[in-house]
């Protein structure tokens, strides 16, 4: 409901429901919306208030311009109304004019949307979002209720042909309002005004009834861009609370089924509890504020502006904004007519650019890994601590570009992942090498690293290509003692039984943890890396990142894998078991001099006759990574399935 004509129609409905020519009432009469104002002084709640910018029915109202606010203030003065309320404004809108005019924000809850884009059936889409078990529960509720009650949709312009539905709708909403102690803003006069207004052809009444009794009645309105539907209201015959929850869930599931069949792209659920609606398939959540101007309300301090940079940002990064459309990544566009992107409108969904608001996917990722062993502290992180990248290697390039300046040193600890040095050389940054020590190549030379005073130190932990973990005490000492940044690449940490460092990024503003879904999560083709760091560092990386690199298909694949992660956890245990078995077999093999300990999904092996063995493996059609240029006479062997591992052992035997 972002179009002024639609908001005017709903405001006309509100006036009819209130029995007044102007949208003026006290805040405590605004139905369930009054709950947001409960903490205000009772005098504020009782005072006559002009509702501006739209009615309380609207899912959201666009933030008024300075010109519109001037007209609203003049209208209030003419009516001699002391308070003005602009309800349900998206927090992502530009609200500077509201604040400048003396309006104060009051938290208004969260707007929830089920997006229906993507291929496949609705159930495939919801399984990605809510998991297989929750989907079965939704389907069960929908099927059970469908057997006992009918589901009817009545166009509001044709409501006069079904007086029983009109009567039942009003009565259900009246009883609901009485239970909650609010006015019924969906009374007969309000409903009739809507039925005879410009929204009548786009609005439908949805009812469920068993035999001759209506047990549920609601309203939905098709959006002006024709791509989705807004859920405006519903009332349920009061009874067993569990039955009410079943009716509510079945109503929304049925609404999504019909919308998908009709080719619609979204269903707007209105304001609601984010966690509850997430379990029903919602995947877009937009915080809302009510903006109130009252004589005895003082302006509040501005919320901390998003986009505050870290002191580690390179000087050029501090002078440039986030590029292009990524600046507006938190501003939803689903209910706009978008003519801003110069794409082809005639070739389907693939012609749209990928979504840039990945906050919900970030929440899913953090919630999923926080449940894994060794991830204490991750649950305290927010989406502002996370940036999705095109694989973890993209994160390496981004952070070097965003956080270093010419002549600032980059430290690596060989043997290690070679792309750290590769990208540092491409950016012409001086490279300092401080080799790992110890028989297992798992000890840092912390004194030499600190003496080099690097801007960035890369630690690969678990190490690639060795497979070992670093001494955590040495890592902590380095993070706390260095003046520069410490980047810990945890591409293989899920295969380790030792803790991750991800939960520590909130404590240390110089710590960056890189993760990937290419390894344990089995999504190498989705190209999804993760950078975890202080929000100021994430903002610096975002200013360097090219927009639209994380495709919609990849986002859906990641969401599905994170939501349905049981197979992933089982496969990790399987890989660990195969790793131990293969390590034992290789340790006893005559072609092998040593098998290094591993907490990854690979083994580093030192060979007796390196060149001969490598040639034999190639001739047998087996590819392993030749790491002899990093660690003499070695190769790195990925853990395969039992057949692949046995083929490797047979080929090694032929080389002896």
In this structure, what CATH number is given to the domain that contains residue 523? 3.40.640.10
Q: Does residue 300 have a pLDDT over 80?
A: no
Q: Where are the beta strands (DSSP E) in 272-428?
A: 284-293, 386-389, 410-412
Per-residue pLDDT, 54: 67
pLDDT digits (tens, 9 = 90+) for 480-500: 999 999 999 999 999 999 999
Q: Which residue has the tokens 């077999």?
A: 585
Range of weakest confidence among 307-311, 437-441, 461-465, 652-656: 652-656
Q: How far is CA 551 from CA 355, 385, 388, 557, in A?
A: 8, 21, 11, 10
- The answer to whether the CB of 486 falls within 8 A of the CB of 465 is no
Please tell me the pTM assigned to this model: 0.90
End of a domain among 564, 587, 603? 564
**Which has more pLDDT, 480 or 45?**
480
197 in a structural domain: yes
Closest by CA to 357, choosing from 92, 89, 62, 2, is 92
Cα separation, 281 vs 130, in Å, equals 6
Q: What percent of the chain has pLDDT over 70?
A: 98
Q: Do 639 and 556 share a domain, yes or no?
A: no
**Phi, psi for 461 (deg, rounded to 5):** -145, 110
- Whichever domain contains 645, its CATH number is 3.90.1150.10
Residues whose CB falls within 8 Å of the CB of residue 305, separated by 6 or more in sequence, listed in order: none
Range of weakest confidence among 227-241, 277-291, 606-620: 227-241
508 in a structural domain: yes
Residues whose CB falls within 8 Å of the CB of residue 374, separated by 6 or more in sequence, listed in order: 493, 496, 497, 498, 499, 500
Instruction: Extract the tokens encoding 389.
Output: 């990248």
Instruction: Extract the tokens encoding 181.
Output: 């102690």
Domain count, the chain: 3
Q: Do 528 and 621 share a domain, yes or no?
A: no
**Which has more pLDDT, 501 or 124?**
501
Cα separation, 313 vs 296, in Å, equals 43
For residues 587-601, average pLDDT = 96
pLDDT digits (tens, 9 = 90+) for 402-459: 999 999 999 999 999 999 999 999 999 999 999 999 999 999 999 999 999 999 999 9
- Whichever domain contains 146, its CATH number is 3.40.630.30
329 in a structural domain: no
Q: Do 518 and 603 share a domain, yes or no?
A: no
Angle between helices 535-544 and 392-403 (to 10 degrees): 90
Range of weakest confidence among 63-77, 333-347, 524-538: 333-347
375 in a structural domain: yes
- The answer to whether the CB of 220 falls within 8 A of the CB of 229 is yes
Q: Do 382 and 484 share a domain, yes or no?
A: yes
Residues whose CB falls within 8 Å of the CB of residue 77, separated by 6 or more in sequence, listed in order: none
β-sheet bridge partners, residue 458? 487
Per-residue pLDDT, 480: 98
Residue 538, classed as helix, strand or coil, is: helix
Q: Do 254 and 119 share a domain, yes or no?
A: yes
Q: Do 555 and 583 share a domain, yes or no?
A: no
Q: Does residue 302 have a pLDDT over 60?
A: no
312 in a structural domain: no
Average pLDDT score, the chain = 92
Q: What percent of the chain has pLDDT over 90?
A: 74
Rg of the chain in Å (alpha carbons): 30
Q: Do 119 and 251 share a domain, yes or no?
A: yes
For residues 463-474, average pLDDT = 97
Angle between helices 163-180 and 188-195 (to 10 degrees): 130
Per-residue pLDDT, 30: 81
Per-residue pLDDT, 38: 82
Q: Do 134 and 55 share a domain, yes or no?
A: yes
β-sheet bridge partners, residue 209? 150, 214
317 in a structural domain: no
Sign of the torsion formed by the C-alpha atoms of 333, 339, 344 and 348: positive
Predicted confidence band of residue 472 (pLDDT cuts 50, 70, 90): very high
Q: Do 72 and 189 share a domain, yes or no?
A: yes
Cα separation, 246 vs 148, in Å, equals 13
In 212-312, which ranges are continuous DSSP H helix?
A: 241-261, 274-278
Q: Do 235 and 360 share a domain, yes or no?
A: no
Q: How far is CA 430 from CA 36, 139, 420, 456, 481, in A?
A: 56, 59, 12, 11, 21
Enclosing domain of residue 82: 4-293
Closest by CA to 410, choosing from 424, 428, 396, 393, is 424
Q: Does residue 131 have a pLDDT over 80?
A: yes
End of a domain among 541, 564, 587? 564
Predicted confidence band of residue 303 (pLDDT cuts 50, 70, 90): low
End of a domain among 248, 275, 293? 293
Q: Which residue has the tokens 């007519």?
A: 337
Q: Does residue 305 have a pLDDT over 60?
A: no
Q: Do 254 and 384 share a domain, yes or no?
A: no
Instruction: Extract the tokens encoding 44.
Output: 């504020």
340 in a structural domain: no
Q: Which residue has the tokens 């902590």?
A: 476
302 in a structural domain: no
Range of weakest confidence among 231-235, 321-325, 550-554: 321-325
Q: Does residue 478 have a pLDDT over 90?
A: yes
Q: Do 583 and 551 share a domain, yes or no?
A: no
Closest by CA to 193, choosing from 448, 382, 435, 13, is 13
Cα separation, 37 vs 109, in Å, equals 11
Q: Which residue has the tokens 């460092």?
A: 501
């Amino acid at each position: 409901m972002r179009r002024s004509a639609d908001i005017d129609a709903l405001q006309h409905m509100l006036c009819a429901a209130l029995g007044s020519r102007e949208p003026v009432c006290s805040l405590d009469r605004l139905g369930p919306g009054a709950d947001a104002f409960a903490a205000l002084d009772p005098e504020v709640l009782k005072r006559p208030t002009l509702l501006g910018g739209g009615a309380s029915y609207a899912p959201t109202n666009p933030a008024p311009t300075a010109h519109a606010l001037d007209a609203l203030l003049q209208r209030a003065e003419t009516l001699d109304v002391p308070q003005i309320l602009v309800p349900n404004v998206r927090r992502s809108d530009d609200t500077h004019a509201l604040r400048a005019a003396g309006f104060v924000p009051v938290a208004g809850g969260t707007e929830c949307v089920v997006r229906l884009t993507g291929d496949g059936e609705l159930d495939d889409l919801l399984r990605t979002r809510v998991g297989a078990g929750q989907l079965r529960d939704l389907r069960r509720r929908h099927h059970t209720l469908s057997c006992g009650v009918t589901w009817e949709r009545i166009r509001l312009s044709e409501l006069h042909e079904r007086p029983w539905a009109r009567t039942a709708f009003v009565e259900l909403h009246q009883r609901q309002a009485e239970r909650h102690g609010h006015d019924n803003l969906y009374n007969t006069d309000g409903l009739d005004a809507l039925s005879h207004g410009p929204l009548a052809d786009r609005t439908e009444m949805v009812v469920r009834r068993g035999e001759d009794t209506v047990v549920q009645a609601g309203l939905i309105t098709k959006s002006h861009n024709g791509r989705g539907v807004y859920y405006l209201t519903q009332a349920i015959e009061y009874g067993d609370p569990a039955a009410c929850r079943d009716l509510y869930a079945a109503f929304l599931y049925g609404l999504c089924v019909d919308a998908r069949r009709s080719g619609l792209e979204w269903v707007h659920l209105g304001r609601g509890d984010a966690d509850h609606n997430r379990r029903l398939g919602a995947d877009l959540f937009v915080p809302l504020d009510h903006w109130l101007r009252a004589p005895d309300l003082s302006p509040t301090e501005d919320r901390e502006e998003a986009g505050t940079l870290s002191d580690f940002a390179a000087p050029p990064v501090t002078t440039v904004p986030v590029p292009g459309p990524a600046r507006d990544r938190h501003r939803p566009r689903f209910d706009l007519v978008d003519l801003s992107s110069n794409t082809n409108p005639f070739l389907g969904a693939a012609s749209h650019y990928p979504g840039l608001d990945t906050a919900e996917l970030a929440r899913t990722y953090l919630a999923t890994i926080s449940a894994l062993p060794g991830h204490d502290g991750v649950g305290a992180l927010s989406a502002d601590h996370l940036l999705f990248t095109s694989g973890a290697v993209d994160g390496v390039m981004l952070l070097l570009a965003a956080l270093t300046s010419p002549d600032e040193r980059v430290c690596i600890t060989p043997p290690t992942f070679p792309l750290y040095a590769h990208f540092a050389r491409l950016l012409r940054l001086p490279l300092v090498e401080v080799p790992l020590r110890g028989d297992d190549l798992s000890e840092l030379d912390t004194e030499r690293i600190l003496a080099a005073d690097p801007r960035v130190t890369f630690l690969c932990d678990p190490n690639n290509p060795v497979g070992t973990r670093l001494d955590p005490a040495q890592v902590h000492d380095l993070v706390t003692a260095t003046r520069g940044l410490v980047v810990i690449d945890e591409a293989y940490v899920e295969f380790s039984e030792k803790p991750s460092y991800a939960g520590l990024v909130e404590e240390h503003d110089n710590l960056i943890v890189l993760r990937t879904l290419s390894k344990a999560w089995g999504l190498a083709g989705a190209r999804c890396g993760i950078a975890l760091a202080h929000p100021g560092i994430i903002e610096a990386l975002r200013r360097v990142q090219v927009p639209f690199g994380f495709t919609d298909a990849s986002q859906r694949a990641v969401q599905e894998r994170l939501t349905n992660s049981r197979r992933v956890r089982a496969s990790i245990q399987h890989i660990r078991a195969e790793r131990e078995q293969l390590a034992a077999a290789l340790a006893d093999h005559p072609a092998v001099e040593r098998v290094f300990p591993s907490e990854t999904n690979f083994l580093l092996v030192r060979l007796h006759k390196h060149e001969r063995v490598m040639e034999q493996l190639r001739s047998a059609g087996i590819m392993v990574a030749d790491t002899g240029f990093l660690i003499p006479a070695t190769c790195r062997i990925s853990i395969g399935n039992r057949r692949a591992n046995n083929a490797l052992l047979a080929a090694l035997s032929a080389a002896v």
